Amino acid sequence: MPEIHFKCLKKLFEETGMESSMIFPTCVVLFFQQMFVSLAVTFYLCVSINILRNMKNYLLLSILCLAGILMSCTQKHTRYRIGVSQCSDDEWRHKMNNEIVREALFYDGVEVEIRTAKDNNRNQIADIKYFIDKKVDLLIVAPNEAAAITPVVEKAYRQGIPVVVIDRKILSDKYTAFVGADNYEIICFTQTGEQHVYTEGFDELDSSGKPLPDNWEGTASGNYTSAASSGVSAPSVALKNTGEYLQTPRYNEGIVKVSFMYRFASSGTGSYIVVEKESDNSWTAIDTLRYVDTSKNYPEYTFSIEEHVTSVKVVYAHKEKGNVAVDDASITYGAYVKDIFSQEKVRNITTHVIEGLSPQTEYGYQVRSVCKDVVSNWSSVQRAVTADISAVTSVRSCDPLVYVSGRQIIIATLCGFERISVYNLSGQMLYAVAAEGKNQIAINVDRGIYIIKIEARNKIFNKKIIL
């Protein structure tokens, strides 16, 4: 134990008249408090730097580990500030921001402030300088452009602020951790079998929460008849008390996708619902949806047929205040049998060619991020039908070149017969165009991350573009 602590305590006790016999126990307590802080900070640095460097999925975990460690060593009223500098204002960043805010609600004394540069370097530089001046305890940056943002990020790092860079790296190593995938894994397959989609709007529900549709189960105690708390049409199911739940019918064929609308009808700070799945007669929680605001939300969950999920349940697990409305359930069930053509790990690339496909055949493919032994969920299934090339006497080999120019995605060196599709990260098709004899196509887009699919006669090209 440092000598200065002992001397200071001794002087303090002499001036206050306290017993000198209390000096040693007090010093021991102080010693172990310092040990705990040192060990906790060491643990955080060892874990978060290795995890955050590789996997975006661990971003929230590491942020909240830091906040939790800091709070465990201090009084509850102390606030710890997390600054988030987003480059863009798009759908998937809204989801990221909402998840950060939602998880921070778990921890007293954590303050999260998010600023969006709206695709403007000057705005983002000003935002980061603002966070530096506020002396935030953690800075998260999604750079708009690496070269422009590098100097101000380095400034924050030099001033001792832990900096987590996400999506794209800056042009130096002056940051604490980078969040992104190391590699990708691609699976290509054909499918046979049949799937069914069942939707439910709870149109017959009355004010008592009954009757539930055929084969549904639950303890809902009411309904909502307003458009604000309903989906496509009123009414919706009202969960009003802790423990109330709504459960889908059971499907022995296996559920592969579930979605629904939910809304906290009024302020519900501290309240949350839990989504559970039933597999092999056992229930497991798959998500916790905490109150953030009273907007409508549309979560979606996908399962492999091998999981054999037979039912899904929404439970009002904890109510501090406020009720929850649930509506517009959609359930996809039934099996597609996959005949895997190829499954391979590729580098951190943006283009990959799958060769040897059969003509006039529909193929499905999925992609997931890989970081050492950690993998993300598979993307939604994308489908493409190969062309009939039996009548083609000569096929010119074209390797499309995809790049960004300003706010346009340029697809060049085309043969002229390709079909180009542009998707967002949710798998939603944003643009579809045929080359129609052109050897170059330009597509206007906003800032964001896009997947470009180029279907040639005997090849499929995929490229990820980040603006």
Q: For position 457, what pLDDT does the model report?
A: 67
What does the pLDDT read at residue 398? 67
Q: Which helix (H) or strand (E) holds 372?
A: none
Is the pLDDT at 43 greater than 70, yes or no?
Answer: no
Distance linking the first and last C-alpha atoms of the chain? 54
Most confident of the following: 105-119, 237-251, 322-336: 237-251
DSSP secondary structure code for residue 457 in this structure? S
Q: What is the arithmetic mean of pLDDT over 182-193?
A: 82
Give the long-range contacts of residues 415-423, CB within 8 A, separation 24 or more.
Answer: 415/439, 415/456, 417/456, 417/457, 418/454, 418/455, 418/456, 419/454, 419/455, 420/452, 420/453, 420/454, 420/455, 421/452, 421/453, 421/455, 422/450, 422/451, 422/452, 422/453, 423/382, 423/450, 423/451, 423/453
Most confident among 142-151, 213-222, 433-442 (mean pLDDT): 213-222
Q: Is the pLDDT of residue 222 over 90?
A: yes
- Alpha-carbon dihedral sign for residues 207, 211, 213, 215: positive
State the pTM of this model.
Answer: 0.46
d(CA 377, CA 337): 19
What is the rounded distance in angstroms from the CA atom of residue 443 to the CA atom of residue 22?
A: 75
Q: Which of 85-89, 275-279, 432-436 has the highest mean pLDDT?
A: 275-279
Q: Which residues contact 415 (CB under 8 A, 6 or more apart)?
A: 396, 398, 435, 439, 456
pLDDT in tens, 329-382: 999 998 777 788 888 877 666 677 888 888 888 888 888 887 777 777 777 778
CA-CA distance, 168 to 165, in Å (whole number)? 7
In angstroms, the CA 8 to CA 30 distance is 12
pLDDT in tens, 46-78: 444 444 444 444 455 555 555 555 444 445 555
The answer to whether the CB of 461 falls within 8 A of the CB of 382 is no
216-220-222 Cα angle (round to 5): 125
CB 378 within 8 A of CB 186: no
> Mean pLDDT across the stretch 148-160?
95
pLDDT class of 448 with cuts at 50, 70, 90: confident
CA distance 263 to 362: 39
Report pLDDT digits (tens) over 378-409.
777 788 888 776 444 444 456 788 888 878 89
